[in-house]
Structure formats: C-alpha cells, structure tokens
Amino acid sequence: MPGPRIESMDQFRGYTMAGMFLVNFVGAFAVTHPLLKHHNTYNSYADTIMPHFFFAVGFSLRLALLRNIAGKGAAAAYRKALIRCLMLILVGLVVYHLDGRFKTFQDLAAGGWSGFFRTAFWRTPFQALVHIGVTSLWVLPVIARSAGLRIAFMIASGALHLALSHAFWYQLLLEKRVIDGGPLGFLTWTIPTLAGSFAYDLVTRDEPRRALRPLLQWGLLLAVFGYALSCLNAVFNPVKPGGIANWLIEPPFVPPSRPVDLWTMSQQAGSNSYLWFSAGFSLLVYALFVWWTDVRGGKSSLFHVFGVNPLAGYILHGMIGDAVRPYAPADSPLYWAAFAFAVYFGILWLFLWGLDRQRIYLRL
C-alpha cells in the first residue's frame, strides 16, 4: 500500500506555493522584472507556477486513490475522490465568485436563467481551484489505471483541445478574455496532471536515485516537444523565406517577435505548447527535489510549512494580499516593493507555521 507522504513532493509543493506567493504579489509592481509577470504572449517564470500545482495534484491523486482502493475498495475510493473534486470546485466558486453584477432585481430577472448561464462562468470562476477540481474529475477514470491508458488519455485530451481551438475556441476565449484556459482549459491542464501521476510511479517503484534518470529524460523530452509545437507559430507567421531561423521561435522565457496565435505558449489560452512544455519543466524541477530531498536528505523548513497545507495557504494568500496591497502602490520603488513583499510573505509564513505547529491542516 502506498505510504501517506513523500517528502520530495511536499518540498516541491512548498516551493510551488512560495513561487505563487512571489509572482501573485510582485507582479502588480511596475519595477518587477517581466519574467515574474504573466503576459499571455510567452512562457515567463510566473507561468511555470500553476502547472506545478496540477503536476502535484496528479501525483497526490494517484497516491491517494491507489491507497484508498487498497484499503477501502474501489467504490469507496472513487466516491471519496469524487466528493473531494466537487468540494474543491465549490470552494473555488465561493473564493472567486461568478461573473456579472446586477444593480437591481429587474436587471437580474431580465436575463433569466439562460442569461445567467451564458454570462456567469466565462472568466472569474475558472481559476486555479476550480480548474484543479474540474481537471481532477476529468482524469479520475484513468488516474489509477495503466501507464498506456494514461498516455493515450493525455494525448487525446490535448488533441481535442487543439481541434476545438482551431475550430472556434481560440478566438472565443480571446473575445471572452478567459483566465487560465477558461471552461475548456481542463483538456490541456490534464497534461501536467497526468505527468505528475507518472512521476509518482517512478519514485515509488524503486529507490529514489534510480528515478532521477527517467524523470530528467521524460522532462527534457516533453519540454522539447512543447517548444517544437510552439515553433509551428513560425510556419504560419514567417519572418523571411528560407533558413532555419524561419522555423524557430524564441525559446521559453523570451518575449516573442511574431504575432501570437494558438501555437503560442500562453497561460491564458491554456495552449498545448504551453502545457506540454510545462509538464516537462515540472518533471525537471521535481527531479531536483528528488535528488536534494530523497537522495541527499535535504529539507527546507520553509517549503515544508508551505507544502503540507497548500489549500490553507492558497486561501490565506489572497486575504493577506488584499490587506497589504493598499500600502503598496503599483508605482512603488524597488525598495518599497521588496519591503511590502517581505511583510506579506512573513505574515503568510507566520500563519502557516502556526497552523503546522498545532497540526491544523485544511483538507477536503
């Protein structure tokens, strides 16, 4: 039966939480380096954080489901996972709210139920928690199954998203200004989620040291594949005829020189290129934590505190950010932006450290 926790994943999750706290707070400042901001036109450092969460979710979902199947039977295990996914979606809807505001009941009644469903779910609700809940529901039938089935499901989900994007979805998501892929984003968020399930297999089937090589190999392969997909942008937006430069675009973390399209690495679009690259990048980053934590015995107390209580950290970081931001204007100089972030980050750590000391963890 799988064990309850894997230290390298807790550390990886803690790093991801710390990265989220960083980019979500400092991204509002004019002095912040572009790599720490979301642009929707290329893959910045800020854009690597959200796929890490899905990678960790896939890892943990496979761990928990296999453990519960072994201990409670398949029916009880899947029922528990289903309830968890639905609860996560509900929490997300409460945290983010729905689209649309109505000043009078007459305005609300004029739209009717059809108007409500046409307008309420395009943008604001579909952020991290809701995306994780919906994506977990989508992969639930295959997450505990064979590697071959999961690979096929991953490819099919990405291909379906690409086909729909080409047919109508890419233009529609731009018109609706969706967040993180919008209502169809789950199709490509499936890619890092299932990559996380493979990482779980690799680190539990043998000693951690032997997992490093396949983690690195598959991570590099998926990252290169994602970049190769993004290079199809150059085919449809050539700079000049002939030459290898005409078939390549700027690598990840470098702003583009060509028009943005459905091949561009974009967190807003949840594009295939972005999430295949991100799945590979997550495998590479996680391999570092396997080496440092599981092989070398290293451990960060900061990452531990953040990593064992991610839902509490996610909810608290928005509340604490709202409390600090009024005293941190967007045009703040670097020293004040750094000071404001230190205050915000310190308060977050203090809350989560206190919860960890008292063994209080927010679980669904």
| pLDDT tens-digit profile, the chain (364 residues) | 445 579 999 999 999 999 999 999 999 999 999 999 999 999 999 999 999 999 999 999 999 999 999 999 999 999 999 999 999 999 999 999 888 887 888 877 887 887 777 788 888 999 999 999 999 999 999 999 999 999 999 999 999 999 999 999 999 999 999 999 999 999 999 999 999 999 999 999 988 899 999 999 999 999 999 999 999 998 877 766 555 567 789 999 999 988 999 999 999 999 999 999 999 999 999 999 999 999 999 999 999 999 999 999 999 999 999 999 999 999 999 999 999 999 999 999 999 999 999 999 988 7
262 found inside a domain: yes
By CB atoms closer than 10 A (0-12, 13-18, 19+), residue 337 is: buried
Distance CA 152, CA 154 (A): 5
Is the distance from CB of 13 to CB of 63 less than 8 angstroms?
Answer: no
Distance CA 74, CA 145 (A): 12
- In one-letter notation, the amino acid at residue 204 is T
Domain range for residue 184?
A: 7-357
2 found inside a domain: no
Q: In whole angstroms, how far apart are CA 46 and each of 25, 27, 35, 139, 209? A: 11, 9, 6, 25, 29
- In one-letter notation, the amino acid at residue 102 is F
1 found inside a domain: no
CA-based nearest residue to 262, from 299, 295, 237, 292 = 237
- In one-letter notation, the amino acid at residue 357 is R
Distance CA 49, CA 314 (A): 13
pLDDT at 64: 95
* Count of domains observed in the chain: 1
Is the distance from CB of 230 to CB of 273 less than 8 angstroms?
Answer: yes
147 found inside a domain: yes
CA-based nearest residue to 89, from 127, 62, 51 = 127
pLDDT at 363: 84
Distance CA 248, CA 327 (A): 44
362 found inside a domain: no
Distance CA 314, CA 306 (A): 10
Q: In whole angstroms, how far apart are CA 176 and each of 41, 170, 181, 263, 330? A: 17, 10, 11, 19, 26
191 found inside a domain: yes
333 found inside a domain: yes
pLDDT at 244: 55
332 found inside a domain: yes
Read off the pTM.
Answer: 0.94
Is the distance from CB of 284 to CB of 211 less than 8 angstroms?
Answer: no
By CB atoms closer than 10 A (0-12, 13-18, 19+), residue 255 is: exposed
Q: Check residue 103 and report its DSSP letter.
A: S
Classify the C-alpha dihedral 115-118-124-127 as positive or negative: positive
Distance CA 249, CA 227 (A): 9
